[in-house]
Amino acid sequence: MADPTSIFDSLRDEFLNALQACQTHARPGPVHALRIAGRKLEAFLLAVRRRNPRASSLRRQVKQTLRKLKEVRRAAASVRDLDVQRRLLAELAQPGKDPPILPGNEPTQAESHKLDRRLERRRRPLAAALVKDIAALAPALLLCLKPLAKRMAHLHPVPLPAMAKEMAQRGAERLRRTQYERRNAGRHGLSGKTLHAYRKRTKAARYLAELEPGSASAQKMVAEIKSRLDAIGRWHDLALLAETAKSMFGASAVLTVSVQAAQRQALELAVRSVLAQAPRHAGGPFAHDPPRTGQERPETAPAARSHATKGRALDPKLSSSLRRAEPTSEPHPPAEDRSESTPPREGGGFAAISAGSRAASPRRRSTPQRGSSNSVRPTRRKVR
């Protein structure tokens, strides 16, 4: 169990330090640290909110803080994407790659340098806008973080490894359902969009598990999740770089074709990594059985029901009503033949004979003839 106060204080200080570093100049390192610290703080606040479902005021404060953190993270997203594309472009252009990802000819080198300069020029106004956005969002964010620090002192310890495992299982279950829906629609395999959504949902589980450095199971889960997320993240970065190269040089350029080939290879590696490390039990993301839509309960046999209720104390009124409703073991006696047992009426003669004939022969209803005097015509009631 982790102490909420100590964890919140450390995550808040880490985030505020990164925020202060980006207020003067948004360099690549502080921008990356700002996004990572913001995601860690968001993951912890989500765990706290899930741990305290009945604390309405706490949930309201957490919701407001999460909204402000998301605004800061989104403001830094565009700058971070350009930094990743520049780093990836420099990595692909290294001549020591075997096999080389980008050809080492002069046209390709010229295109890569031109693209790098374009990305750098595009980053400058976005970095200046990020500094202004941070200056505008920081006061409101500090006001949201201040009351949360007081509320953390009254909360119970948070089981971070268990909650991280639960978040990872929910992400895997969602991926399993998406894969099953694609298979029913005739689209086998996993798409890049599905993998990217799985990566965003599973990041919170990774950051929660990283908050428990002394747990061996938590560190093992971090290693497994990190390998999958890194493979998906490399494919996503290559997809962004390929889109930028295509918009700048066209689809037939050598740089665009080379980056797209690397993107397809990264997608295959990401899918292979997810399939290799995903659990294959009934609740895993790639089990062969269809996902359950509800809580199906099998029908219980009568013997099983009686065995299940054996030994339980029943309500006296219910037990008495059940005893009255139980059928008797002896069969019902047959109906007596009243034609022989019925004694003749006193007086004999015609009375005795008529009584015997009525008992011996069943009574028949006489149907009156149509038009006879005995026929009764139906009368209609007049409605006034």
Most confident of 66-80, 249-263, 292-306: 66-80
- 61 part of a folded domain: yes
Q: What is the pTM of this model?
A: 0.67
294 belongs to a structural domain: no
Pair (99, 211) in one structural domain: no
pLDDT score at 287: 39
Residues 66 and 78 placed together within one structural domain of the fold:
yes
Check residue 105 and give its pLDDT: 60
Residues 81 and 225 in one domain: no
Per-residue pLDDT at 154: 84
C-alpha triplet 62, 66, 71: angle, nearest 5° = 155
**Which of 242, 183, 167 has its CA nearest to residue 191?**
183
Answer yes or no: do 239 and 224 share one domain. Answer: yes
Answer whether residue 288 shows pLDDT above 60.
Answer: no
Angstrom distance (rounded) from CA 353 to CA 359: 10
State whether 244 and 263 are in the same domain: yes
215/295: higher pLDDT: 215
Q: Quick one: 220 and 266 in the same domain?
A: yes
Residue of higher predicted confidence among 307 and 233: 233
Give the end of a domain, one of 104, 123, 156. 156
Task: Output the average pLDDT for the chain.
Answer: 75
Regarding whether 128 and 70 lie in a shared domain, the answer is: yes
User: Do both 31 and 119 map to the same domain?
Assistant: yes
Q: What is the pLDDT of residue 96?
A: 56
Q: Between residues 285 and 148, which one has the greater pLDDT?
A: 148
Q: Provide the pLDDT confidence category of residue 4 given band limits of 50, 70 and 90.
A: confident
Please tell me the least confidently modeled range out of 2-6, 18-22, 281-285.
281-285
| Bigger pLDDT: 361 vs 108 | 108
Q: Is 185 helix (H, G, I), strand (E, B) or coil?
A: coil
Q: At what angle do helices 216-249 and 77-92 cross, to 10 degrees?
A: 80
In a domain, 32, yes or no: yes
Host domain of residue 124? 1-156
Same domain? 107 vs 166: no
* Confidence at residue 380, expressed as pLDDT on a 0 to 100 scale: 61
DSSP state of 279: -
Q: Are residues 116 and 6 in the same domain?
A: yes
Q: Are residues 222 and 152 both part of a single domain? A: no
Q: Check residue 184 and give its pLDDT.
A: 74
The reply to whether 151 and 78 lie within a common domain is yes
Asked if residue 239 is part of any domain, the answer here is: yes
Per-residue pLDDT tens over the stretch 22-33: 988 899 999 999
Write the pLDDT tens digit of every residue in 328-367: 444 444 444 444 444 444 444 444 444 444 444 455 555 5
| Count of the separate structural domains present in the chain | 2
